[in-house]
Structure 1
């Protein structure tokens, strides 16, 4: 019998993990609350299981405990915020039956709940955007003279906000717009914070993916720069490239980890270089496998295998140099260009440059495992139609009022 591992969440990040472990000969149990997740169709999936949505903690716990006799002592690698939150909050119960590197809630909440992240950053001297924490509409009105526009309305928990509004944040240009959008968030019972906008285009973002192994040492450390986001400036990375280690980003990332008491787990940091001052500013931290983890594999850093060897085999693989690679989320990048980009083809050379890279890797597309890509293609007409209807965050209108099953494949 092959050694088994559970991949929890099977969209783009989960697919990368499934492929990596499947290629190593492991029996991958693909576990998701969404039967339409594209990763479930990968040829590297050994078996599929559908669980309750992890936001329903009681139902999710009951499911995992029912499976415990069959899956006892297996490693779980989670690839989404809802799953990370559930494993973290249920760690006292689930750690008796499973292995996973998710932090306990007192630590993970420092990064999953954004207001905690920025308060931590201030405490340990890591530069971050000027942030406001309104507690009510009345409280917000007292801040009118303090706030500069345009500014950002950012959720304290991104995954819940994206599930409702289909965008990562709102950009508002006047106090009236701020009141309107803040009221929407209150109605949706989604806590938010307000932030100044850090000047800079898509290429001013600096990122680092870190895995601290069971001995407290770095097992993974890969640095990237963003080439394109969608929507531009505030959105999800669609194209990025590995770069040489970034000393300043490294120092700030490890300072945050130390102050948070982070140990044995994945942490992914995003900073932005203020194009006016040159200061490196913390944007966000994810305490789980990121959606862009395939960029690490493309750079020949097999993150899931490193975790598996550490947690299951007690073998700590050495930190190795990584290769230069470009990561592309193919269809979202192309659709954004065709549907949303006002330049269209005026900058075509700049647009296609990443596709001409000698060493590139795709988030979904793979000649050796085509089914997930074909499944994604089948969703394109609906995605394109929705993109043509919606506005960008800078236009202050949420992308939709109701959850859309298509969007999770695009944003996850």
Structure 2
């Protein structure tokens, strides 16, 4: 009898790799799986393996609000197991774990191990203590980074790494590694990582190898190794991967590292291997479920099920052998990667470009052998893959003249129905930064409705950008004056979920990025883009694009579009709401 049957789990994440794979794995074991998803638009949410889904994230909620919402969910449901597939959940769950009343098992590292497992500097120190090779390097403040000086010491290109992928205080912002080939790239990196310590390392020539493990009190019981079939030049995750035999010396390095920490849990150790010299180094450790997890499960090492059995049942099931012919690809990323590679090669050598294109496309025939797998696809759970495939063509399809016009008409009709069916009390104008478009639209709406039957409405403006109290751009202040509007005292504000979902509230946006952010991270909103309300005499507008960084002429045009669309908004509100 399967002893995991009907046990419950709460899984945190949003992607089609680790998150969706963990959901499906636990569901196959008969477990009841609920999820906390960071994006409402995640295709993983269409999985039929999910019982309940909660949309909680750091875009629309403060950390304290997120923690309280998660704590309430955990106390209400008393789950048997909690698994974070994302560092944005992992760090807060360490605090939440101590606050909940239920006897829930958390798949989390011990606090004492956070440095060695997530801080790249501490990972290096721990590796060196275990006699595990790492690249030569040092830690420097970001303002001390100088390409010429460092290149003389470590060679070119340089590898620049923020010490952690996420900071606990900024869980909405992921830090990125840079392979720096020029002084210009280093200067941009310094701007993006101001006031931060940076790990500078020499570049190690070779290809990436991942060794994934499950350990209990320092002893590795399951392991799997993979390599990238295609290696992005800029670094980061690969879209296509294959199973390989485990290098005994790398597995021994993982074992030493785990024993040093007395570690219990899953982890993926990322190495770089030089096939010419046979040397290798440890790059980093991910002590959570990782992006190549679908390949490991496809090859026969079901890490989520093994972890659940270990934590809930105390069963340590050895698993060191698997299908060495297994491949897996992230479908949408692989398509984009193939296109990007083709475009880059085409400008230099068309024959080579088409040759490589055919080679990459031919690799899809491996799917017929059943050794190859698409991460998001499962016969028993097809919707995530179908939605991912549709997302590839959605923008092109929605851009067709008839469809885009019909969709715009549908959006306006739905908005009219919404405002006619409930009283409107609050009107919120929302753009990305709340320093150019939305403050002008708010002031314009207030001016045009003063003394009318809409003058009782509460009108405000917000931005999705979480840094507040920024002034309106000087160019916008000057342009607003031509409409007799004063923006000199404006201070930007961030849009929280509590404000967006206030009863009887409508939200007016400006572009497709605004629409994406609202639909991905906010719940229970009534909204429309002002672009849908631009008068027909201006032609079709899918968005009123952000004037940030654009010419004075475009800013003038942008404000004219906002002015005319606000007029249409006022006519629409007057015709469809009772006052």
Q: Distance in 1 between matches of 2:134 and 2:320?
A: 30
Give 5+ residue unaligned stretches, structure 2: 346-352, 397-464, 467-512, 521-579
Q: Distance in 1 between matches of 2:283 and 2:387?
A: 32
Shift of 1:303: 1.4
**Do the aligned residues in 1 keep the contact of 2:213 with 2:267 (CA within 8 Å)?**
yes
Q: 5 Å matches for 1:7-406?
A: 7-12=11-16, 13-53=18-58, 57-94=63-100, 97-138=103-144, 144=150, 145-159=152-166, 164=173, 168-175=176-183, 177-186=185-194, 191-200=197-206, 204-213=207-216, 216-229=218-231, 231-232=232-233, 234-259=235-260, 261-275=261-275, 277-319=277-319, 321-324=321-324, 325-341=326-342, 342-343=344-345, 344-348=353-357, 350-352=359-361, 354-357=363-366, 358=369, 359-380=371-392
Shift of 1:26: 1.6
SS in 2 for 1:373: helix
The answer to whether residue 13 in structure 2 is matched with residue 4 in structure 1 is no
Q: Distance in 2 between matches of 1:283 and 1:94?
A: 36
Relative to 1, partners in 2 of residues 1:383 and 1:275: Cα closer, same or farther, differing over 3 Å? farther
**Do the aligned residues in 1 keep the contact of 2:142 with 2:196 (CA within 8 Å)?**
no
Shift of 1:319: 2.6
**Do the aligned residues in 1 keep the contact of 2:145 with 2:190 (CA within 8 Å)?**
no
SS in 1 for 2:379: coil
Shift of 1:211: 0.7
**Do the aligned residues in 2 keep the contact of 1:228 with 1:237 (CA within 8 Å)?**
yes
Relative to 1, partners in 2 of residues 1:183 and 1:52: Cα closer, same or farther, differing over 3 Å? closer
Shift of 1:208: 0.9
1:165-215 residue CA offsets vs partner (Å, 9 max, x unmatched): 7x84223223454234223311xx554322211112xxx2221110113x6
SS in 2 for 1:338: helix
**Do the aligned residues in 2 keep the contact of 1:79 with 1:291 (CA within 8 Å)?**
no
TM-score (norm 2): 0.60
**Do the aligned residues in 2 keep the contact of 1:224 with 1:243 (CA within 8 Å)?**
yes
Q: Distance in 2 between matches of 1:179 and 1:382?
A: 37
Shift of 1:51: 2.8
Q: Distance in 2 between matches of 1:158 and 1:382?
A: 31
**Do the aligned residues in 1 keep the contact of 2:218 with 2:259 (CA within 8 Å)?**
no
Residue of structure 1 equivalent to 2:568: none
**Do the aligned residues in 1 keep the contact of 2:142 with 2:190 (CA within 8 Å)?**
no
Q: Distance in 2 between matches of 1:95 and 1:380?
A: 44
Shift of 1:142: 11
Deviates more, 1:50-59 or 1:152-161: 50-59
Deviates more, 1:28-37 or 1:311-320: 311-320
Higher RCO structure, 1 or 2 (CA under 8 Å, sep 6+)? 1
Q: Distance in 2 between matches of 1:296 and 1:11?
A: 16
**Do the aligned residues in 2 keep the contact of 1:91 with 1:104 (CA within 8 Å)?**
no
Relative to 1, partners in 2 of residues 1:133 and 1:320: Cα closer, same or farther, differing over 3 Å? closer
Give 5+ residue unaligned stretches, structure 1: 385-401
Relative to 1, partners in 2 of residues 1:219 and 1:361: Cα closer, same or farther, differing over 3 Å? farther
1:353-404 residue CA offsets vs partner (Å, 9 max, x unmatched): 54333212221123332211232234335899xxxxxxxxxxxxxxxxx897
What number of residue pairs does the alignment pair up? 381
Relative to 1, partners in 2 of residues 1:117 and 1:94: Cα closer, same or farther, differing over 3 Å? farther
**Do the aligned residues in 2 keep the contact of 1:18 with 1:39 (CA within 8 Å)?**
no
Shift of 1:222: 0.9
Relative to 1, partners in 2 of residues 1:162 and 1:108: Cα closer, same or farther, differing over 3 Å? closer
Shift of 1:18: 0.9
Shift of 1:90: 4.4
Q: Distance in 1 between matches of 2:297 and 2:100?
A: 29
Shift of 1:94: 5.0
SS in 1 for 2:214: strand
SS in 1 for 2:308: helix
Shift of 1:332: 0.8
**Do the aligned residues in 2 keep the contact of 1:274 with 1:281 (CA within 8 Å)?**
no
SS in 1 for 2:51: strand
Q: Distance in 2 between matches of 1:22 and 1:264?
A: 23
Shift of 1:66: 1.5
Shift of 1:68: 3.1
Q: Distance in 2 between matches of 1:16 and 1:157?
A: 25
Relative to 1, partners in 2 of residues 1:180 and 1:10: Cα closer, same or farther, differing over 3 Å? closer
**Do the aligned residues in 1 keep the contact of 2:10 with 2:36 (CA within 8 Å)?**
yes
**Do the aligned residues in 2 keep the contact of 1:330 with 1:365 (CA within 8 Å)?**
no
Shift of 1:44: 0.8
Shift of 1:21: 1.5
CA RMSD after TM alignment:
3.1
SS in 1 for 2:153: coil
Deviates more, 1:120-129 or 1:262-271: 120-129
TM-score (norm 1): 0.82
- Flag the structure with larger Rg: 2
Relative to 1, partners in 2 of residues 1:182 and 1:275: Cα closer, same or farther, differing over 3 Å? farther
Shift of 1:281: 1.0
